[in-house]
Amino acid sequence: MSATTATKRLLVVDDALIMRAMIKDIAQQAGWQIAGEATNGRECLERYRELSPDLVTLDIVMPEMDGVEALRQLRQEDPLAMVVMVSAIDQKEKLSECIRLGARDFIVKPFDRDHLRSLFQRYLG
């Protein structure tokens, strides 16, 4: 890695271990460093404050605090927070709300590895 290329740091938020593992694997292949993980919206907010990641992947459906509420609070605390929502295909209404709240993009589960890799590469710039 050259001195001009800083490693981008990712916070992966999903209550499903397998989803976190897949996202982390693909992000690392695309050149991202995994800053941390969280399993619900409350943990997401705590980890974001603690880690200051460059990007967050945020699942919509999670226990305790869902991704929509976590996004709302995250963007209130940091209007520049870069967040990519992760959702099942049947959550179009919630995705629209997330875009209005400031999410930059979204990933639909089950996701295509190549599509996800290109999304991560796009945010490296």
CATH of the domain at 44: 3.40.50.2300
Per the structure, the count of domains in the chain is: 1
pLDDT exceeds cutoff 50 at 116 = yes
Q: Is 3 within the bounds of a domain?
A: no
pLDDT of residue 88: 81
* Residues of the chain above pLDDT 90, percent: 80
Per-residue pLDDT, averaged over 44-53, amounts to 98
Asked whether the whole model's pTM tops 0.75, one would answer yes
Per-residue pLDDT, averaged over 84-95, amounts to 84
Q: Is 2 within the bounds of a domain?
A: no
pLDDT of residue 108: 87
Determine the structural domain holding residue 32 and report its residue range: 9-122
Q: Is 15 within the bounds of a domain?
A: yes
Give Cα separations from 28 to 8, 61, 90 (angstroms): 10, 24, 28
| Start-to-end CA span in the chain (Å) | 14
Q: Do the Cβ atoms of 16 and 63 come closer than 8 Å?
A: no
Q: Is 110 within the bounds of a domain?
A: yes
Element (H, E) at 84: strand 83-88
Q: Is 55 within the bounds of a domain?
A: yes
Q: Is 1 within the bounds of a domain?
A: no
pLDDT of residue 5: 54
Neighbours of 77 (CB within 10 A): 10
Q: Is 4 within the bounds of a domain?
A: no
pLDDT exceeds cutoff 60 at 66 = yes
